[in-house]
Amino acid sequence: MQQPVQLGPKPLTRADVHAVARGDARVEITEAAREAVTAARAHIDRLATAERPTYGVSTGFGALAVRHIPPDRRAALQQSLVRSHAAGAGPEVEREVVRALVLLRLKTLASGHTGVRLETAEAMAAMLNAGITPVVHEFGSLGCSGDLAPLSAAALALTGEGDVRDADGALVPAAVALAAAGIEPVRLAEKEGLALINGTDGMLGMLVLAIRDLDYLLDVADLTAAMSVEALLGTDRVFAADLHALRPHPGQGRSARRMAEILRGSEIMDSHRGPDCTRVQDAYSLRCSPQVHGAARDTVAYAATVADRELASSIDNPVVLADGRVESNGNFHGAPIAYVLDFLAIPTADVASIAERRTDRMLDVSRSHGLPPFLAHDPGVDSGHMIAQYTQAAIVSELKRLAVPASVDSIPSSAMQEDHVSMGWSAARKLRQAVDGLRRVLAIEFLTAARALDLRKPLNPAPATAAAVAKLREHVPGPGPDRHLAPEIAAAEDLIRKGAL
């Protein structure tokens, strides 16, 4: 059983986010966090009764911040804020994203810098632990002033309004799900509505999830690239450590080491090492795989440093400082996250692009060094993997469009009070599509390279690539006459999604 994730003074880790978002780990608010939350709330209670207006406590929001709200209307103000801001539209966002979003908002609430009551933070923790997932819609965040509509949907559920998915995935009213879990709906007090929605938690959650996915997919890319090099009778000499030491990018060195190790012990590679081999240089898509994969690895590593800084942050506006001051700020602006989300979409597209080029070489009889056209059983009667490469090409083309940055756009809102926004949520949503596309492209290369290696028999592939082929053959048969290929692509993709390679 997983250990509960502790919410307190120490920053959350990316592993913590994965444990809760994908592994349904429980969360616990530490005693230190309880003390900090209680102390911060005392400052808000003092300001709530003061004559001097304080933003978010006794004023309106955004362009309406100039309006002073009378004391008897301040609690209603918070509920109205959440209701009006839960204005999302479009498809439901994935469960893992919503769980990450709620966890990260709770992390900030537990920091003692937002001024919420302890019972509000505890209710949010209980909702997570009960497996209740608010329905959050695709559109509604501009990546500034927080992921407003998505976080408002989560906050609305906490108050017993709106719809949620229960632990079994059924769509039910929030009030019904909370009651079934024994959770009392929250009646928002001063400042709490604002504190629940003014964060970059959705885009950060998606960044953390994408980093984990890309880390693994780049390992898969090293494997499928090595399989393609082997199947195409390429050379492994270009993966030698001393060559890559001349250009000491850490990601490049790692990919080169991995590819060299994957190819170790290959009879296919050994068959053309002698003086009769006339191959001088392989095509770039083979020879430069470590450089492309490695640059992608280094980009992911940079994104991870940004994610870790954000996981150590407390994002709200206004914030409660240690000395009791409540100050407005701009930390809700999503630019730091938006930039790296956009950045990651570029290598995601490029790694897919080079994989598609390797696949195409295996299908072209003029470049495949003895493999049958399109790896077909009976070329002309059979088409082999011809159209699988078309599918790759279509996905790669889409990935290039998804690599166009969202963060260079900005649409002013709130009567020009919020006149520059990050579009970080949009950058995160398109990165998730790109990650899915890369997985599919690599699945097709994996499927194609495995078939090509089988066609090199009686020569045996390396033990590592042979093991990968054997894993695939548990779900997809070897070479033969044309079959329905879509299920085989789906099976290869499922193996990658499950981390089976």
292 vs 307: CA distance, rounded Å:
23
Q: How far apart are CA 371 and CA 484, in angstroms?
A: 21
Q: How far is CA 436 from CA 62, 224, 432, in A?
A: 36, 17, 6
| Tokens of residue 452, six digits | 């090509």
The Cα–Cα gap between 109 and 196 comes to 8
d(CA 433, CA 242): 37
- DSSP state, 71? G
Instruction: Point out the catalytic residue in the list 55, 216, 302, 339.
Output: 55
Q: H helices within 167-288, ranges in order?
A: 174-180, 192-197, 201-231, 241-245, 250-262, 267-270, 284-287
Query: Is 55 among the catalytic positions?
Result: yes
Report whether 298 contacts 259 (CB < 8 A). Answer: no
Length of the chain: 501
Q: 497 vs 41, 170, 437, CA distance in Å?
A: 44, 24, 12
Distance of CA 284 to the CA centre of its chain: 29
At residue 9's C-alpha, the angle toward residues 58 and 20, to 5°, is 95
Three-class secondary structure assignment of 435-463: HHHHHHHHHHHHHHHHHHHHHCCCCCCCH
Tracing tokens 């407390």 back to the chain, one arrives at 314
Cα dihedral across residues 301, 306, 307, 309: positive or negative: positive
Q: Are 86 and 150 in contact (CB under 8 A)?
A: no
**Residue positions annotated with a catalytic role:** 55
